Amino acid sequence: MAIVSRAQPGEPLATAARTKPKTVACTPPPLAKKIEFVIHMYSLQAVLSVPLWVRGWREYFYPPSGGPDIVKAYACRPQLPLRVFFPASYDQAATHAPLPTVLTIHGGGFCIGVNRDDDEYNRDLADSQRVLVISMNYSKSPAVAFPAALHDLEALYHALLADESLPIARAASSPAPSPSSPSPPSAKSKIAVLGFSAGGNLALALPQLPSIRAAAPNAPGAAVSVYGCLNLSRDPAAKLRNRFYKPALPLPQGSRIDSLATLAPVFDWSYIPYGQDLTDPLLSPAYAALDTLPPHVFLVAAELDMLAHESWRLACRLGNEARRVQGKPLEGDREVPDPDSKADRVKCVGRRASSKRKGALEEPFGEDERYGWSETWAGGSVNWLLVPDAVHGFDNYHIRQIMGGEESMLDAELKTKAYVAQVGAWLHNVVWK
């Protein structure tokens, strides 16, 4: 049952570059549905709190290898500690040279999860791409609703910029170049924000805030959304029609049920206040204009995910806006796919057939634009990447251990390394060049 009134599916995305989308307000569900959501959400949080508590105490006495180098809390949000990962090649004792910095934001539908969940990913990202990784934190719904999580991240972002003990590659305070410096001084900061699922939403929303934009040149120069939940104006049940199902694959890829099917309506109800405009770009970044986002945007999606189509639509729209800003011929525009189309190639992202390249992305990049393309110009870029035969959360170590068999775990791990390498190359060679 739908819990909110909805915009005409697909219409705002196709016209957002030219007109403001019609305001659509979140409305309360029936009482019985509300009670169901309350029981579901608080039960889920209670059940998940037990293993989190056990893991926290175990790791307090027996810290695992690959954890953060520093855990920091700031006075603005003392209850939301951040986890800091230095690359293995960086000698903290010998140098304080600035490092390109990636701020990561964990997922969990705005309601569950902690930034500890991404330690394995963040450690690999820091070491393989030689960047400083800072895992952000935020308050969870339904205890707090939108935009509380966004304002938590805003406060912590400013606290990080003011913290001179961390070698963030700021624009204003970069030290003089030295032979040991991985990142020489720059007129712009070298800061990117990357988020997963709900964190992908927040990664695109945070840079839109006026105080973050006013922090230029130390505002994020790039935003990466990984299987982000980007359009909260579209009913979750409708999103289920926008993905292919591949039962011939091993579980969890071969499941005939999307992993978010039952959770998405509960997450939406928990996070969105009644009366909230669902087309607000801070809530639904799918409606954000190109000039309100960082100069560089990278959208990564998983093919077997009900959220993939909204990332595809946003990427196409932003790419088209970029072409118009550059004065390129409109003939080169990518058609923004209609989620209500009857044609498979438009209605669903990817293709019905399984990938023949196990553990790899589709190659060569750009041959099939459903799986990837890049629109790059002086000072900006828009990038799209679809990871074949991947499910929501495929790059999370803990989700792989719970859901996958040996074959599917190896496939997900290799594809994670492949897309991280691609995003890393883009950051170093395009964003921070």
DSSP states of 91-105: -TTT----B-EEEEE
pLDDT confidence band for 172 (50 / 70 / 90): low
* Strand 77-85 versus strand 222-226 pairing type: unpaired
pLDDT for 367 equals 63
pLDDT at residue 350, rounded to an integer:
93
Query: What's residue 188's pLDDT?
Result: 84
Q: Which of the four pLDDT bands, split at 50, 70 and 90, describes residue 418?
A: very high
How high is the pLDDT of residue 15? 39
Q: Residue 416's closest CA among 72, 66, 138, 123?
A: 123
Look at residue 118 in the predicted model and tell me its pLDDT: 95
Whether 213 shows a pLDDT value over 80: the answer reads yes
Contacts for 31 with CB less than 8 Å, ≥ 6 apart: none
| Per-residue model confidence (pLDDT) at position 364 | 59
Q: Is the pLDDT of residue 366 over 80?
A: no
Ranked by mean pLDDT, the top range of 1-10, 91-100, 293-302, 350-359 is 293-302
Q: How many CB atoms lie within 10 A of CB 175?
A: 13
Residue 6 belongs to some domain of the structure: no
In this structure, is residue 131 part of a structural domain?
A: yes
Does the pLDDT of residue 185 top 80, yes or no? Answer: no
Q: Which residues of 350-367 are buried (b: 16+ CB within 10 A; e: fewer)?
A: bbeebbeeebebbeeeee
All residues at 6 or more sequence positions from 122 whose CB lies less than 8 Å from its CB, including other chains? 68, 83, 85, 104, 133, 135
Q: Average the pLDDT over each of 56-70, 280-294, 364-378 and give the range with the smallest value.
A: 364-378
Q: Is 306 inside any structural domain?
A: yes
248 part of a folded domain: yes
CA-atom Rg of the chain in angstroms: 21
Reported confidence tier of residue 19, pLDDT bands at 50, 70, 90: low
**Predicted TM-score (pTM) of this structure:** 0.91
Q: What is the pLDDT of residues 107-150, one digit of tens each?
A: 999 999 999 999 999 999 999 999 999 999 999 999 999 999 99
In sequence order, what are the residues at sequence separation of 6 or more whose Cβ sits closer than 8 angstroms to the Cβ of residue 324? 17, 330
Considering the chain, what is the average pLDDT of its residues? Answer: 89
Q: What pLDDT, on the 0 to 100 scale, is given for residue 181?
A: 47
Helix, strand, coil in percent for the chain, rounding step 5:
35, 15, 50
Residue 178's pLDDT band (boundaries 50, 70, 90)? very low
By residue count, the chain amounts to: 433
Helix, strand or coil, per DSSP, at residue 301: strand
Q: Is the pLDDT reported for residue 391 higher than 50?
A: yes
Residue 4 counted as domain residue: no
pLDDT at 5 over 60: no
CA dist., res. 13 & res. 354, Å (int): 29
β-pairing, 77-85 vs 70-74, is antiparallel
By mean pLDDT, which of 45-49, 185-189, 284-288 is the weakest? 185-189
Mean pLDDT calculated for residue range 313-326: 93
d(CA 241, CA 340): 9
**CA separation (Å) from 362 to 255, 369, 388?**
22, 10, 7
Q: Are 102 and 130 in contact (CB under 8 A)?
A: no
Residue 26 binned pLDDT confidence (cut-offs 50, 70, 90): very high
How far is it, in rounded angstroms, from Cα 280 to Cα 293? 14
**CATH number of 421's domain:** 3.40.50.1820
What percent of the chain clears pLDDT 70, i.e. is strictly above it? 91
Residue 5: inside a domain: no
- Domain presence at residue 3: no
Q: Are 176 and 196 in contact (CB under 8 A)?
A: no
User: What is residue 246's three-state secondary structure?
Assistant: coil
pLDDT at 175 over 60: no
What is the structure's pLDDT at 66?
86
Domain count, the chain: 1
Give the model's pLDDT for residue 70.
Answer: 95
Identify the domain containing residue 345 by its residue range: 11-175+183-431
Q: Which residues contact 73 (CB under 8 A, 6 or more apart)?
A: 79, 80, 81, 82
Asked whether the beta carbons of 320 and 17 are under 8 A apart, the reply is yes
| 230 lies in some domain | yes
Distance from C-alpha of 232 to C-alpha of 312, rounded to nearest angstrom? 15
Distances (CA, A) of 344 to 136, 338, 340, 367: 38, 11, 10, 19
Inter-residue contact 253 to 409 (CB < 8 Å) = no
Q: d(Cα 283, Cα 201) in Å, to the nearest integer? A: 8
> Closest Cα to residue 375, out of 333, 346, 416?
333
Rounded Cα distance, 248 and 354, in Å: 8
